[in-house]
Amino acid sequence: MSPESDDAVIELFADALWMERGLSQNTLAAYQSDLRTASKWLQEKRELNLLQAQPDDLGDYLAALHNQGYSARSSARILSCLRQFYQHALREGAIKIDPSAQIASPRLGRPLPTSLTEQEVEALLNAPNRGEPEGFRDRVMLELLYATGLRVSELVALRPGQINLNQGVVRITGKGGKERLVPLGEEAIAWLERFDQGPRHDLLGERLCVAIFPTRRGSGMTRQAFWYRIKKHAQQAGITKPISPHTLRHAFATHLVNHGADLRVVQMLLGHSDLSTTQIYTHVARERLKSLHAKHHPRG
């Protein structure tokens, strides 16, 4: 059968997806593109169309994608597309056996979180204009994030009663209502004291706000607003890595592990209920060690 016949069955499959699942045009176009690429390979390498392909053909196709540099995640996406196509063809009676059914999905490694080097953190902390109340507030918030590893949602929800500057700890109620105490560190304590002595009042005037970090409007900072400000400060600091609200939390954990902190201590500080969630940072540290070895060892 010709490539044109594959075009027809791909169109019918896309129509069915749209009818059954209401997928967007962009998503449908992605499915069609993946199927056309597979169709082209089958035509050129095996002189088969999609409906004639056997499990070995599809396995060889995925192996070819791997050899071309496709990531495991991309290959898994393509296999998912092929499975949906063949399951539809099976329901419609166009094939008797699904050739994709026994093909194992590529193993997906857990993606390593984006972190910052210690120099990048320093640049980010110094980016806000501390001569303005908003800039000073942002500097304190960034300092506190890096000092404690708080989630951004925990940071913006902070109330004065949660922080004890004399003891140098912050009390956090995290996911699932679990409470944890996190040390602040001398730098964070000093910045919090300076913020409370002037810039916070400058932001609020005579208004009252229960949140430690208010806006000019007299309300607490939102996660979305702070994320926008983090990205703005990262741009000012010349940081080109993708920045998310969790970036400084990842940096906090990564740098602790890099400097030899026990993993269970990091788990406790982050408020992870399961140690396996924290273990991702051992992989981050391992990647760091490998890069240092490659850079500095004479046989790296």
Query: What is the CATH code for 3-91?
Result: 1.10.150.130
pLDDT at 54: 92
Joined together, the tokens standing for residue 118 give 């210690």
Q: Which pLDDT belongs to residue 2?
A: 43
pLDDT at residue 86, as a whole number: 93
Query: Could you give the angle at the alpha carbon of 178 between the alpha carbons of 111 and 220, nearest 5°?
Result: 85
pLDDT of residue 125: 93
Question: What whole-number distance in Å separates Cα of residue 87 and Cα of residue 94?
Answer: 10
Q: Whole-angstrom Cα distance, residue 142 to residue 187?
A: 12
Instruction: State residue 237's pLDDT score.
Output: 93
Tokens representing 258?
A: 């890099």
Residues 6+ apart with CB under 8 A from 169: 163, 181, 182, 183, 184
The confidence band for 27, taking pLDDT boundaries of 50, 70 and 90, is: confident
| Residue type at position 36 | R
Q: Where are the domains of the chain?
A: 3-91, 118-296
**pLDDT, tens digit, for every residue of 98-122?**
999 888 777 655 555 667 888 999 9
Which tokens is 205 given?
């005037």
Buried b (16+ CB within 10 A) or exposed e, 155-167: bbbbeeeebeeee
Would strands 163-164 and 169-173 be described as parallel, antiparallel, or unpaired? Answer: antiparallel
- State residue 111 phi and psi, 5-degree precision: -65, 135
The count of other CB atoms within 10 Å of the CB of residue 188 is 21
Asked whether the predicted pLDDT for residue 79 surpasses 50, the reply is yes
Mean pLDDT over the full length of the chain = 84
Cα 208 to chain centroid, rounded: 36
CATH 3.30.465.10 applies to domain 118-296: no
Instruction: Please say if the pLDDT value at position 289 is more than 70.
Output: no
The H helix count followed by the E strand count for the chain is 14, 3
Residue owning tokens 């996660």: 223
pLDDT at 281 over 70: no
Q: Would you state the pLDDT for residue 263?
A: 75
Looking at residue 68, what is its pLDDT? 87
> Residue 141: what pLDDT?
94
pLDDT at 115: 76
The torsion angles phi and psi of 180, rounded to 5 degrees, stand at -145, 150
Cβ neighbours of residue 268 closer than 8 Å, sequence gap 6 or more: 180
Taking alpha carbons only, the member of 126, 160, 132, 162 closest to residue 146 is: 126
Residue 248 has pLDDT above 60, yes or no: yes
pLDDT in tens, 33-76: 999 999 999 999 998 999 999 998 998 898 888 888 888 788 88
For residues 236 and 76, what is the distance between their CA atoms, to the nearest angstrom?
A: 38
* pLDDT single digits (tens) 124-143: 999 999 999 999 999 999 99
More confident residue, 91 or 300: 91
Render pLDDT for 201-225 as a digit per residue (tens, 0 to 9).
999 988 888 999 999 888 888 888 9
Residues with catalytic roles: 151, 175, 246, 249, 272, 281
Among residues 223, 235, 239, 264, the alpha carbon closest in space to that of 115 is found at: 239
Provide DSSP, 77-133.
HHHHHHHHHHHHHHHTTS-SS-TTTTPPPPPPPPPPPP---HHHHHHHHH-S-TTSH
* Predicted pLDDT at 1: 40
Q: What percent of the chain has pLDDT over 90?
A: 35
Q: Which of 138-142, 194-198, 239-243, 286-290 has the lowest average pLDDT? A: 286-290
In tens, the pLDDT along 251-271 reads: 888 888 777 777 777 777 877
Q: Which uninterrupted H or E stretch holds 173?
A: strand 169-173
